[in-house]
Amino acid sequence: MYRVFRSEWYEKKLEKLDKSEQERIIKFEQSLKIEPYNGRPLGYKFFREKKFDGKRVIFLVYEEHQSVFLITITNKKAQQHEIDLIKSNLEVYKEELEKRIKEL
């Protein structure tokens, strides 16, 4: 079973959603523990998105850590910008995740 972690940016975006959207996304987060490759790949097997009513949850899957790192929630308009930003900072996200795992 995989562990699921949230970035601070993801947490902030999640808080801004209405209650029903939050519940739906939290349910999806739980499903990632069993099916970490749920969603559509974004150029790499480990870099994925899942659509929810016009919003997209963007996340990274780390097999070596048996973990999923939820990066952001975006809309179609900002999607490409967010994807490019994440791709250019993959190493930063990996280090952040490893730091969180060590804290456990």
pLDDT of the chain along its 104 residues, tens only? 999 999 999 999 999 999 999 999 999 999 999 999 999 999 999 999 999 888 999 999 999 999 999 999 999 899 999 999 999 999 999 999 999 999 98
Q: What is the pLDDT of residue 13?
A: 96
Q: Where are the alpha helices (DSSP H) in the chain?
A: 8-16, 19-32, 76-87, 90-103
Into how many domains does the chain fold?
1
pLDDT of residue 10: 97
What is the SS3 assignment for 41? strand
Give residue 58's pLDDT: 98
Given this model, what pLDDT does residue 66 score? 97
For residue 71, the enclosing domain spans 3-103
Domain CATH number, residue 64: 3.30.2310.20
Confidence (pLDDT) at 104: 84
What does the DSSP 8-state code read for residue 17?
S
